[in-house]
Structures are given as C-alpha cells and as structure tokens.
Amino acid sequence: AQTVTQSQPEMSVQEAETVTLSCTYDTSESDYYLFWYKQPPSRQMILVIRQEAYKQQNATENRFSVNFQKAAKSFSLKISDSQLGDAAMYFCAYRGNQFYFGTGTSLTVIP
C-alpha cells in the first residue's frame, strides 16, 4: 500500500530564513505525482508545488522548491526567504492510482 510520511509534526523558521520540510513515501507504482499543499487556518488547501515522477528536474515555484529523490522516495520542500504568510500546515501528497496525504507539518514563522 502507498503511504506518505511526514516526520516533522512542527517546524519553525525565522522570517527571511530558509526551512526544509521532509516527506517520504512508499510505492510500487512507477507513474505518479507528488504535491505539497498548504492549509492555513481558513482550512482551504492551496497547492504549493507539484512534481511529476518521470521528471528528474526538481520543480520550483518562486520561493518554493523541492528536492525529489526518486530512488530514496523522498520529496522535501524548501521555503526560501520565509514570510509571515507562509505560516500554515503543510501536507505532502501522493497521487498514483489513488491520492494519499501525509499527516502534515505545522510551520511557524517567527518575526
């Protein structure tokens, strides 16, 4: 069965600094997608970044980038120049034949 593991329930970062959130997954599928979603207190899940498994190049979206290690089944999210608005729960998600979410990492940004 596919699983997604986020081993950091909570993380904090100083404003303007860089933080990395970890995610590992387990799968026997070869074709899949990986996502990071942000969920602020308003509850609405917002897509941060996505990565197609067949692409070797790491995805980047402005201050957000991933380190995708397919062999290690690792998919970490790096947030550069952290801003107060980045504070939220971050969920790693896997999409193969089904969709699986990790348990989330709560990110606090310290002014």
* CB nearer to another protein: pick between 11 and 45: 45
What three-state secondary structure class fits 9? coil
Give the whole-angstrom CA distance, residue 21 versus residue 87: 13
To the nearest whole angstrom, how small is the minimum distance from the Cβ of residue 33 to another protein?
A: 6
* CB nearer to another protein: pick between 19 and 94: 94
DSSP state for residue 16 in the 8-state scheme:
T
To the nearest whole angstrom, how small is the minimum distance from the Cβ of residue 37 to another protein?
A: 8
47 is a contact residue toward another protein (CB under 8 A): yes
Binding segment for another protein among 19-27, 39-47, 56-64, 77-85 (CB under 8 A)? 39-47
30 is a contact residue toward another protein (CB under 8 A): no
24 is a contact residue toward another protein (CB under 8 A): no
Give the whole-angstrom CA distance, residue 67 versus residue 22: 9
Q: What is the DSSP string of 22-83?
A: --EEE---SS-EEEEEEE-TT---EEEEEEETT--SPPEETTEEEEEETTTTEEEEEE-S--
63 is a contact residue toward another protein (CB under 8 A): no
Q: Note the residues at the interface with another protein (CB under 8 A).
A: 4, 33, 35, 37, 42-47, 50, 52, 91, 93, 95, 97-104
